Amino acid sequence: MYKAEFRYHGDLLTLIAQPDGKGWNITLPNGTHYIIEHAEAHENTLTLRTATGIIQVAFLQTPQGVEIHERGRAYRFQRAEAPRRGNTQHSSAEGILTAPMPGLVTKVFVQQGDPVEAGQRLLTLEAMKTEQSLRAPFTGIVRQLNAREGELVQEGTVLLEIAEASGAAE
């Protein structure tokens, strides 16, 4: 699940995106719910395909937040202060692999339940015209796969979890 908080005209707004088997369930701050079947990001344009059509918006990231242009209107959102995470940071040594930066998942090389070897390439993430491969930190089994090709992810999003081979049968 991805949760982002923004301020718009002084109000705190929460955007929630949760992956499911066919796409992303998006809940907007006003309670409107969308199922995004496919998302593509190009430079400063985001194209979202839903069951009812295609939504295309232009966006610009600024030091203060994000500016979205849609149907001739501009919406400026300021980032709300990030919650303190304390000891909830994950590490690859625990088998939890997170997105090191915001980006687009361009390739997924494994499926949930697949055995993996230490150092094996698991998926590729693209950001700012560079690709980064995420690799298995140890030999084990893909316990959970939260990433799909073509999905946009934010920094810190849990992409997949690897269980040690000996603990996978539990």
pLDDT in tens, 53-105: 888 878 777 766 777 777 777 777 776 654 444 444 455 557 888 888 888 89
Q: Please say whether the beta carbons of 4 and 14 come within 8 A.
A: yes
* Average pLDDT of the segment spanning 106-126: 93
Strands 45-50 and 33-42: antiparallel
Measure the N-to-C terminal CA separation of the chain; round to a whole number of Å.
Answer: 25
* Average pLDDT of the segment spanning 144-152: 89
Q: What percent of the chain has pLDDT over 70?
A: 74
Q: Which of 128, 101, 97 is nearest to 110 (CA)?
A: 97
For the chain, give every residue range classified as CATH 3.30.700.30.
Answer: 2-79
What per-residue confidence (pLDDT) applies to 91?
55
- Hey, what are 39's tokens? 């998302």
Q: If residue 153 lies in a helix (H) or strand (E), which one and from where to where?
A: strand 152-153
pTM score, whole prediction? 0.47
Strands across the sheet with 121-127, in order? 130-135, 121-127, 103-108, 152-153
CATH of domain 92-167: 2.40.50.100
CATH architecture label of 2-79 = 2-Layer Sandwich (3.30)
